[in-house]
Amino acid sequence: MHELDEAVLAVRQYTDARPEIGLILGSGLSALADLVKNPVTIETATIPGYPTSTVEGHVGRLVFGTIGSTSVVFVQGRLHVYEGHEVQHSTFPVRLLSQLGVSKLILTNAAGGIHPEFSPGTLMWITDHINWTHKNPLIGSEIVPKTRYEYGTSCYDEAWTNKAQQVATSLGIATSKGTYLWTLGPSYETKAEIRAFKLLGADAVGMSTVPEAIQARSLGMRVLGLSTITNFAAGLGNAELNHQEVLDVGRGVQADLERLILSLLKG
Ligand code: HPA
């Protein structure tokens, strides 16, 4: 049996939903799943082949339901490569969502701000990325070699991003656009690394999202990426970085994020 077939069968014991839009929730953003109407919640631990998350503050759940007339699924408990997952395993949820019918994927994360105007609380649409880890979820995959190389050149859907930014503006929520740089973690960056990343053209830095975006594109999904800047990246602010700050700022912008996500998903 294909690695995903058993997982799909397990999900199908709970729901026949074929969600159009999937949303992967980043650090501190798990509560966004409460927006879903008529939720069907599945613990990922009960899904064969689904890797287990180990990070504090993360749960492992898929929440199916509707927002307006749109069928959606939220993934709570992102899998990070720094937890010890192979990069190919970390994108298992994306392959599963694709099998379940998802054609549009929203990737959210918490990130450190590098761009001088990005203070904590800034919302940034990801328009491009830098893969500092050089790890790629397509390594060893069965996709046609001819097209393998295309994924990554334009992961983030420009039209969807522009529309999403307009929606934010119409709600009175200011957003910015920028380039996200993926580091492996789990340690935060050094000040010297952040100076280097700035020279490379990065506006924000974080430990997720890029492998999921590459995987999603390889499956033909449209991708929207949204970073919540939770802190000044190392050396750019006065305070030392800590995980609690990341979670707290995430909670602080939650009301805006909720309104934004609701509007985006309603269509
Ligand atoms: N660096 C890496 N990942 C992060 C940061 C950061 O400063 N903030 C939130 N996630």
Q: Is the pLDDT of residue 57 over 60?
A: no
Numbers of helices and strands, H then E, in the chain: 9, 9
Q: Mean pLDDT throughout 88-113?
A: 96
Q: Which residue has the higher pLDDT, 55 or 166?
A: 166
State whether the beta carbon of 106 lies less than 6 angstroms from ligand 1. Answer: no
Q: Which residue has the higher pLDDT, 59 or 230?
A: 230
Ligand 1: distance of its center to the CA of 250 in Å?
Answer: 12
Which range, 83-87, 200-204, 242-246, has the best average confidence (pLDDT)? Answer: 200-204
d(CA 80, CA 133): 12
pLDDT above 90 coverage of the chain, percent: 72
* Per-residue model confidence (pLDDT) at position 149: 54
Q: Mean pLDDT throughout 205-231?
A: 95
pTM: 0.93
Which tens digit of pLDDT belongs to each residue from 151-205? Answer: 556 899 999 999 999 999 999 999 999 999 999 999 999 999 999 999 999 999 9
Pocket test for ligand 1, best of 108, 118, 188, 228 (most atoms within 8 A of CB): 188
State whether the beta carbon of 241 lies less than 6 angstroms from ligand 1. Answer: yes
What is the band of 85 on the pLDDT scale with cuts at 50, 70, 90?
A: very high
Q: Mean pLDDT throughout 120-131?
A: 96
Q: Is the pLDDT of residue 242 over 90?
A: no
DSSP secondary structure code for residue 174 in this structure: -
Q: Is the pLDDT of residue 56 over 80?
A: no
Which phi and psi angles does 181 have, rounded to 5°? Answer: -105, 130
Q: Which of 61, 8, 11 is nearest to 32 (CA)?
A: 61
CATH number for the domain spanning 40: value is 3.40.50.1580
* Per-residue model confidence (pLDDT) at position 140: 82
Q: Is the pLDDT of residue 58 over 60?
A: no
d(CA 218, CA 129): 16
What is the band of 255 on the pLDDT scale with cuts at 50, 70, 90?
A: confident
Ligand 1: distance of its center to the CA of 206 in Å?
Answer: 5
State whether the beta carbon of 112 lies less than 6 angstroms from ligand 1. Answer: yes
Ligand 1: distance of its center to the CA of 71 in Å?
Answer: 31
Strand 176-182 relative to strand 61-67, pairing: unpaired
Residues tagged active-site:
27, 58, 80, 82-83, 110, 207-208, 231, 243
Number of domains in the chain: 1
Structural domain boundaries enclosing 130:
3-266
